[in-house]
Amino acid sequence: MMISNKRGQSAFEFIMLLGFALLFVLIIFYLLQTTLLGLQKDKNREEIKQVANILTTELSLAEASPTQYSRTFSLPSTIRGNVYDISSPDGREIVIHYLGEQYVYFLSGQPLLNYTNLGPGENSLRKRCLSQTDCLLELYEPSIKTQTWWNALYLNRKEVIINNTGSTVLTSYPVFLVIPKAQNMQPDFGDVTFLNGRCNSSGGISLDYELGSYTSASAYFWVKIPSLTIGENKICMYYNNPGPFSTPAESAVWDKNFAIVQHFEDNSTIESDSTANNNEGQLGGGSGASMPAWEVGLSPETLKTPTCDNISSFGASSGSTISIDSGRVKVVDSGTGSAGVYHLGLSGNDQYYSVGDKIQMVLDIDFAGSGLTSANTGCYTTGVAPYTIITNIKTLQQGTNLVTFIVTSAPVAAVTCRIWADGMIPGSNFTVDDWSAKRINNQLGGSYNYDGINDYIDFGNDQSLNISGPITLQLWLKIPGNPSFYDKNWYIFGRGDGLSGATTTGAYVLSYYKGNDKLYFDIDNGTIRNAVTTTLASWTDKWYYIVAKWDGTKNTYGLKVYVDSVINGQSTSNLDFLRTDGPSVRAGYRSLNYYNGSIDEIRVSNIARSDDWIQQDYQMVENQDTLVSFGTEENKID
């Protein structure tokens, strides 16, 4: 028993000794670790102090230097391989944050201005003196280095920030941008170009873009973004290029899914298509828009279009009536069918025309009877008394006539048009359109106001418009307030007749039905016609964004119409395809009554655009200031 107790005591003593030894080791380890951490902090503090010393040394050099001192210096990008932050909250002290610790160094000299520009890496400091004794020290944004500059011919750039409000990425998206005129931009914005990505990124890819209308204050652009991601997107805009610069490939903005894109920016008898399909719009009926002064090398200011208020004289041997309606002068024969001579004089607001002025108007002649005496039917210009003819007579024919004079000598007081005809039948018309009054401006640049009498635009029947599958129609529409007052069904846009139940001679039509004040979108395969209507049946005199689409299937609610980007009507189609024969595509008129209102930014796609796409298109116009912002202008240095 005695031997056993001694053995137990020895084991206990051994355990105690081992515990004391372990505790000693832990204490030594703790002391070593604390010492090492202290040494590490001392080293960190020393390196941080060196960073602070770099800055204070630079400040001292600047303060002691002559006036107008400037210098670019660098602070370490990291400290011992770790990132840090340096700032000057009030310009009187330096605060460095590193590995969770804060280090503060007070500045002894004058306060530092623009201290928010301080940071790791390259910094620029300058001394600006307002007088010999009144000087300021400030940090400023350094000029951009040439190695990050895309093209040396462009002297300025800034970022354009665009927000995608939807929940999906939009591919090959043509974003609409209103670009304010910067001081260094060319007056016609011809020097503006765009690159994908941020301005300070290298290897930026040039973006396709189209320049629309512009003023001295801003310009409209459509820029093709390869991938408009959800949320914020940044592209870089370069400008201030003295030129010459290349013309952008505008059609490349609109991919192969666009059949036609009409901005109505040409202000001419022919409105060009922005896609590569060249589906130009020919202004028809009374729409021989008398505005193409640029085609003969004249500036718009030299174009003189006689207006309805300029009527100076009218006479007819057989009697008639004259009226002004929706910007048109209308002369109606009230005779008995005998031979008659009609004269319509259009003056220049009691002011003489000048040499070089272009006088232009549209005459629609619709006489039933024996016909015109062409040798004596035409328009001519006259000078002061005795009103000698100074320009040869322009022969007129039955139908629409575009009459143009360029004044080669002066003074010219008026343009006179006369109709000689035999066997007049009462009700025949001799009209003059004032098309300068039809041109209007809106948030997308410009468009036309259709007068409800005989205005329409024909876009032809190109193969690209023969869409047999999915389709999307997009346009901006201004419907007169209380349209039922006009008591007419209106053809707005499409191919063929409109409204369900009409003769099926077309494939896709958007129209207005007076019976319920709703818009109809009809599709047709030659045998069956389907339609969807808006639920909205009350229209005010404002612009609406209208979209009509069919997904090409018999899926539930595959046929939809949108008002201001929100679904406003939907139905299920029982069609598998659309017919591809039939008449040309038109805006404003087909077999229904002529449209009375305005249409702009017509687009037709051979796919069903997504809800996010439609929503983004609408928001880019209605909320441009919210979705688009601009970075700070940057200057190139050599």
Place of tokens 């623009």: 114
Q: Is the pLDDT at 237 greater than 60, yes or no?
A: yes
Lowest pLDDT segment from 82-86, 101-105, 135-139: 135-139
Distance separating alpha carbons of residues 463 and 466, to the nearest angstrom: 5
**What strand order describes the sheet that includes 170-180?**
170-180, 218-228, 209-214
What is the pLDDT at residue 88? 78
Does 209 or 88 have the greater pLDDT score? 209
**CA-to-CA distance for 610 and 607, rounded, in angstroms?**
9
Q: For residue 388, what pLDDT is reported? A: 35
Least confident range of 38-52, 177-191, 220-234, 254-268: 38-52
Band of residue 7 on the pLDDT scale cut at 50, 70, 90? low
For residue range 170-195, what is the model confidence (pLDDT) as tens digits?
999 999 999 999 998 999 999 999 99
Helix (H) or strand (E) run with residue 186 in it: none
* 8-state DSSP, 620: H
Q: What is the DSSP string of 37-81?
A: HHHHHHHHHHHHHHHHHHHHHHHHHHHHS-SS-EEEEEE-S-BTT
- pLDDT, position 354: 56
* C-alpha torsion angle, residues 198, 201, 207, 209 (rounded to 10): 40
How much is the pLDDT for 121?
79
CA distance 174 to 474: 14
pLDDT greater at residue 501 or residue 362? 362
pLDDT of residue 66: 65
Q: Smallest Cα–Cα separation from 507: which of 474, 533, 469?
A: 469
Q: How far apart are CA 288 and CA 485, in angstroms?
A: 28
- Pairwise CA distance, residues 458 & 260, whole Å: 12
Least confident of 169-178, 355-364, 491-500: 355-364
**CB neighbour list of residue 152: distance below 8 Å, 6 or more residues apart:** 146, 636
Long-range contacts formed by 205-211: CB under 8 A, 24+ apart: 207/235, 208/248, 208/249, 208/250, 208/252, 208/253, 209/248, 209/250, 209/253, 210/174, 210/248, 210/250, 210/253, 210/274, 211/248, 211/250
pLDDT at residue 426, rounded to an integer: 41
Question: Quick one: pLDDT at residue 393?
Answer: 45
User: What is the C-alpha to C-alpha distance for residues 74 and 85, in angstroms, rounded to an integer?
Assistant: 14
Say how many CA atoms lie within 13 Å of 63 toward its Cβ: 13
Higher pLDDT, 273 or 526: 273
Average pLDDT, the chain: 74
Q: What confidence tens digit (pLDDT) does each residue in 421-442 have?
A: 444 444 444 444 444 445 556 6
Q: Would the pLDDT of 561 be above 60?
A: yes
Secondary structure (DSSP) of 110-123: SPEESGGG--SEEE
Residue 637 binned pLDDT confidence (cut-offs 50, 70, 90): confident
User: Which pLDDT belongs to residue 338?
Assistant: 41
With beta carbons less than 8 A apart as the criterion, state whether 423 and 369 touch.
yes
* 386-421 per-position pLDDT tens digit: 333 334 445 556 655 555 555 555 555 455 555 544
Q: pLDDT class for 357, splitting at 50, 70, 90? A: low
180: tokens are 């304010």
Q: What confidence tens digit (pLDDT) does each residue in 325-344 have? A: 444 444 444 444 344 444 44
Mean pLDDT of 247-272: 88
What's the whole-number mean pLDDT along residues 39-63?
81
Residue with tokens 């300070």: 200
The confidence band for 139, taking pLDDT boundaries of 50, 70 and 90, is confident
Tokens of 91: 């310009």
pLDDT exceeds cutoff 50 at 306? no
Average pLDDT over residues 557-582: 93
pLDDT of 622: 93
For residue 64, is pLDDT > 50? Answer: yes
Q: Work out the number of other CB atoms within 10 angstroms of the CB of residue 189.
A: 19
Q: What is the pLDDT of residue 298?
A: 24
Q: Tell me, what's the pLDDT at 386?
A: 33
In 367-451, which ranges are E strands? Answer: 371-372, 378-382, 394-395, 399-406, 414-422, 429-433, 439-442, 445-451
- Provide, for the chain, the percentages of residues in helix, strand and coil under a 3-state DSSP scheme, each rounded to the nearest 5: 20, 40, 40
pTM: 0.60
pLDDT attached to residue 6: 56
Q: What is the DSSP letter of 479?
A: P
Which domains, from first to last, does the chain contain? 42-140 (no CATH), 146-253+625-635 (2.60.40), 293-437 (2.60.120), 440-606 (2.60.120.200)
Least confident of 25-39, 180-194, 361-375, 516-530: 361-375
CA atoms within 13 A on the CB side of 30: 6
How many CB atoms within 10 Å of residue 231? Answer: 10
pLDDT of residue 390: 35
- Residue 275 clears pLDDT 90, i.e. is over it: yes
Question: What pLDDT, on a 0 to 100 scale, did the predictor assign at position 586?
Answer: 92
Query: What is the arithmetic mean of pLDDT over 50-72?
Result: 77
**CB-CB contact of 259 with 277 (8 Å):** yes
Instruction: Kindly state the average pLDDT of the residues 531-547.
Output: 90
Taking the CA atoms of residue 624, residue 625, residue 627 and residue 630 in that order, the dihedral angle to the nearest 10 degrees is 120
Percent of the chain with pLDDT over 70: 65
- With 80 as the cut, is the pLDDT of residue 148 above it? no
